[in-house]
Amino acid sequence: MGVMRIGHISIRVMDLEAAIRHYEQVVGMRLTHRDGEGNAYLKCWDEWDKYSLVLTPSDRAGFNHVAYKVAGDAELDQLAEKIKGHGLAVEVLPPDSLPACGRMLRFAMPSGHEMRLYAQKECVGTDVGSINPDPWPDSIRGAGVHWLDHCALVCEFDPAKGVNKVAENTRFFVDALDFFQTEQLTVGPEGALQFGSFISCSSKTHDIAFVGGPTAGMHHISFFLDSWHDILKAADVLAKHRVHIDVPPTRHGLTRGETLYFFDPSGNRNETFAGLGYQAQRDKPVVTWTEDQASRGLLYHTGVPHESFMNAYT
């Protein structure tokens, strides 16, 4: 077994204290650590590792890196060779390069986004424990998200120049990291160009997604909720806290997920995502959405393009 699941994401925020309040009081995470460099680390109540979100102070919002957890330390060495075999440079970071985390591989995806792989992180347990646990803790705040579910990255896409980093990232993740594709959005003559790609390393509909854009960036980070009812409650929480909602509760055609999009105080887009959608398996045929149905694939209920959802990212 190689890559198991998403481990954490590191993002830039312009007001650290405002960001911590947002992710604790609105999203429902808990601050677990601050380091000497001014970074903040948070976890969701149903996660057992020490953190899944790293907030770094900056003068602009956006993406630092995404990290995935692998099955063991030996897999790191094997994956390093596979990554190098695809022409990418790999740096080995020593243990505690990030707090409570073992040694990591650091490299850039074909799209230029930084990615890390690690095998060990301090386990602190879920907020309900592992012995005779209750279904949820009494300490839930805000939307009460369960865990960091996935992220969606914007990759350079310019057919006129022959640039399609969505397709390059997909090939790399499948060939080097042993992910598999679940869905895609195709555009251009006879759907020859891959504009969106959803890939998984588990039974989830996607553990990461790529979508085309003029420059590289981050479209959103997503947190899991149980049900459509929880999505509606999250919208109530956002309204109560006067948080700007980008896309109100709806369903995706892609992945069948029930969804709600909003922004943190720095402008990083968040999603709460619910519903299994379907069980992703390696032998399941890839679902394809065509260009004429792209808006319905993204926003199934209305099928109407949403300008900020398509064009705003950090």
- Can you give the CATH number for the domain in which 43 is found? 3.10.180.10
Q: Do 109 and 153 sit in the same domain of this protein?
A: no
Those residues of the chain that have pLDDT short of 70 are: 1
Q: Do 25 and 93 sit in the same domain of this protein?
A: yes
- R_g of the chain, CA atoms, integer Å: 19
Q: Which two tokens stand for residue 103?
A: 């040694």
Q: Do 98 and 21 sit in the same domain of this protein?
A: yes
126 in any annotated domain: no
Alpha carbon distances (Å) from 154 to 83, 112, 151: 21, 10, 10
243 in any annotated domain: yes
Burial class, 237, CB count within 10 angstroms (exposed 0-12 / middle 13-18 / buried 19+): buried
Closest residue by Cα to residue 256 from 233, 280, 282: 280
Q: Do 163 and 215 sit in the same domain of this protein?
A: yes
Domain interval for residue 294: 147-311
- At residue 308, the pLDDT reads 87
Q: Do 158 and 292 sit in the same domain of this protein?
A: yes
Q: Which residues pair with 104 in a beta bridge?
A: 93, 118
Burial class, 66, CB count within 10 angstroms (exposed 0-12 / middle 13-18 / buried 19+): buried
Q: Do 161 and 99 sit in the same domain of this protein?
A: no
pTM, 2 dp: 0.96
Alpha carbons 94 and 76: distance in angstroms, whole number:
12
C-alpha angle with apex 94: 91 to 96, nearest 5 degrees? 130
**The residue type at 105:** L
Q: Do 103 and 184 sit in the same domain of this protein?
A: no
Residues catalogued as catalytic: 150, 206, 220, 252, 261, 271
114 in any annotated domain: yes
- At residue 151, the pLDDT reads 98
- At residue 1, the pLDDT reads 57
132 in any annotated domain: no
103 in any annotated domain: yes
Q: Are 11 and 127 in contact (CB under 8 A)?
A: no
Q: Do 302 and 189 sit in the same domain of this protein?
A: yes
Q: Which two tokens stand for residue 108?
A: 């850039």
24 in any annotated domain: yes
140 in any annotated domain: no
Alpha carbon distances (Å) from 28 to 16, 100, 137, 141, 284: 16, 22, 12, 5, 34
28 in any annotated domain: yes
- At residue 93, the pLDDT reads 98
Q: Are 25 and 277 in contact (CB under 8 A)?
A: no
What's the number of domains the chain is made of? 2
Q: Do 199 and 304 sit in the same domain of this protein?
A: yes
